[in-house]
Structure 1
């Protein structure tokens, strides 16, 4: 009886050694790459090694040396992605995707556990997937795959604050649109099929870093909401800071285009206003004005050389503008082409037609000519880098 109890205790200890938890090794890999989870063995003898995945402990691969059999259960999410090393039992996952993130366990006489984090393509620490949208329009931050799994917990964060989440296990979808001064109120929509987040009626306050977290997977987005402004060449334009009054410690900088060239700044603490109108070949010379109350920037006597993106930075807050300056075209000339006139008659009716030609007289970088009847467009034509005049026929 005593011998049976000892054997029973030994068996229980061995089972605990097999199925108990040990130290978990963290592994990160970029989506689309491969990762190898190394087993505890340097060489297999009469071993049986199993690889299991997720909280459900699903068997995904097995190497039975005595039976001379290697099996990968790669249906569904792991299809054609699993490889077992027949010498060591190590597991390689190829073309890894975010849905492969999670807990992996290698089991033989002991357990070795791996927590695999998949960094979505285009995302890493210090880098984000860049998205931009015109102010007032909706934007969707898309999940990297198309199906939510049964045990998923999906969270969307803005500047480290949770703004929306899906808890599949609890069958619950929640948007926290009253956080952060209510800037998202009535604007957030979660897709219950894909987990993607849509922000409607965007404002510049929605510019910033968004983080998507699904269990072991994280994905970063940087959303830029820009104001779109257009003006005719020679006119003035004001880029509004959005402030009604500057604070004592405000520092305001205006930058131009992708070169991020500083063109104007206000340092309230130092009581200093500076315009750098000699930069960029002096194109802004004597044309920049800063409002010392609001920090708004006015550009006078604009030219097409001012077309581009402008960035306003107020301390750590950023606001962007897309300015287009249109060249002035001469009034199109309408010419009657009598050589196209013709007539026809029959016993019941007669008709005539002639061609009208609308012609520009300047070569410009881009131009569109259109015929209208009231507010309806009858026909139009566009061209870029013109070296000759542009004509648009219309028969009437």
Structure 2
């Protein structure tokens, strides 16, 4: 009787691919994040048009960007910044030629996670850029004005509350003083009446002493 052995070849780890859309204006930087903290056991690689443009490994000797990874790749010319802690890649001073798909690979212990960043760099004129900046500045001023108005409203409510408390204290003090004055007057009246009930002799003096 023959025994047949069936061999199954399974992938080493789970493969996941996420797609992201990124849109920026020409000249602005764009960052392609990993959203993780890279360990020495993980490698991060970036490809543009199937060409390696950046690499972060556990061995600093093999870390590279742009022409360091591929001498023929002169597209970015020193505009790539690789974060050694997170593995994120930043493209500075973007141009319309940077538009395209960027393939990110995070290679760990038996796992590979992939991200696809579809970057769109919009070419805008200087006038359009100034208009956008002005609108952004106006929005910031509006937010500041709203914040100041809220602060003034809060201050006004606080002043009214303090004024109300002071009014209550003044009224209470006035009422106490009035009550004390009435008590004194009442005592004077009682003494006067007591004195009147005695003859104007030694007994009156006794009443005064009492």
Distance in structure 2 (CA, Å) of the matches to 1:130 and 1:164: 20
More strand by share: 1
Q: How many residues align?
A: 126
- Cα distance per residue 1:257-305 (max 9 Å; x no partner): xxxxxxxxxxxxxxxxxxxxxxxxxxxxxxxxxxxxxxxxxxxxxxxxx
2:101 corresponds to = 209
User: Which one of the candidate residues 116, 124, 128 is aligned to 1:228?
Assistant: 124
User: Which one of the candidate residues 18, 21, 24 is aligned to 2:9?
Assistant: 24
1:133 corresponds to = 24
TM-score (norm: length of structure 2): 0.51
More helix by share: 2
1:168 corresponds to = 58
Larger Rg: 2
Q: How does 1:180-329 map to 2 (within 5 A)?
A: 182-215=74-107, 216-229=112-125
When residues 202 and 171 of structure 1 are mapped into structure 2, their CA distance, relative to the original with a 3 A threshold, is same
SS of 2:14's equivalent in the other structure is strand
When residues 157 and 136 of structure 1 are mapped into structure 2, their CA distance, relative to the original with a 3 A threshold, is same
Distance in structure 1 (CA, Å) of the matches to 2:116 and 2:48: 10
**Structure 2 runs not aligned, ≥5 long:** 1-6, 144-210
SS of 2:97's equivalent in the other structure is helix
Q: Give the C-alpha shift of residue 190 in structure 1.
A: 0.5
Higher RCO structure (Cα 8 Å, ≥6 apart): 2
- Cα distance per residue 1:35-66 (max 9 Å; x no partner): xxxxxxxxxxxxxxxxxxxxxxxxxxxxxxxx
- Cα distance per residue 1:335-357 (max 9 Å; x no partner): xxxxxxxxxxxxxxxxxxxxxxx
User: What's the RMSD between the two structures over aligned residues?
Assistant: 3.2
Distance in structure 2 (CA, Å) of the matches to 1:323 and 1:185: 24
Q: Give the C-alpha shift of residue 201 in structure 1.
A: 0.8
**Structure 1 runs not aligned, ≥5 long:** 1-21, 27-102, 104-114, 232-321, 327-366, 371-379, 383-396
SS of 1:205's equivalent in the other structure is helix
1:143 aligns with 2:34: yes
Structure 1 stretches of 4+ with a deviation exceeding 4 A read 178-181, 322-326
Q: How does 1:329-348 map to 2 (within 5 A)?
A: none
Q: How does 1:112-131 map to 2 (within 5 A)?
A: 115-119=13-17, 123=18, 128-131=19-22
Counterpart contact for 2:53–2:73, Cα < 8 Å: no
Distance in structure 2 (CA, Å) of the matches to 1:175 and 1:223: 18
SS of 1:185's equivalent in the other structure is coil
